[in-house]
Amino acid sequence: MSVNVHLYLNVNDLESPDEADRIGTEVNRVLEHHRIESWMEVTIVHEPPAVIARSDPAIIVSRFSLWSKQVEIDIETSIRAIAPKAHISLEWDHPDPL
């Protein structure tokens, strides 16, 4: 069964604009790997350094519980490789009643 979900990602407490640029590149790579880049908008902020990603429209996925865990692991691993001290907030929202 497929579900509609929104993905909200905020990466804060970065050390520099360069670090934000590198994380933005990695987040885009992970989104492409999971084939959801067309649903996502990634914004890189230089002051203060941050990366923000939002889905619009909702992402349509099957086997959400398995898939979402892997997306979370891949995003966190890629960010931590660049910025171990970054604050990562990743949230899912279900726009349709469950």
Number of domains in the chain: 1
What residues contact 87, with CB distance under 8 A and at least 6 apart?
A: 10, 11, 12, 13
Please indicate, yes or no, if residue 8 is contained in any of the structural domains. yes
Q: Is the pLDDT of residue 6 over 80?
A: yes
Any domain includes 75: yes
Indicate whether 92 belongs to any domain: no
Cα–chain center distance at 34: 11
**Total residues found in the chain within this entry:** 98
Please, which pLDDT band fits residue 95 given cuts at 50, 70 and 90?
Answer: confident
Over residues 86-93, the mean pLDDT reads: 97
- CA dist., res. 77 & res. 79, Å (int): 6
- Confirm whether 11 is domain-assigned: yes
Residue 50 pLDDT: 98
Residue 76 counted as domain residue: yes
pLDDT, one tens digit per residue, over 28-79 is 999 999 999 999 999 999 999 999 999 989 999 999 999 999 999 999 999 9
How far apart CA 90 and CA 31 sit, in angstroms, is 13
Residue 23: which pLDDT band, with cuts at 50, 70 and 90?
very high
Residue 65 lies in a domain: yes
Expressed as residue numbers, the domain containing 29 is 2-44+53-87
Q: CA 76 to CA 98: how far, in whole Å?
A: 27
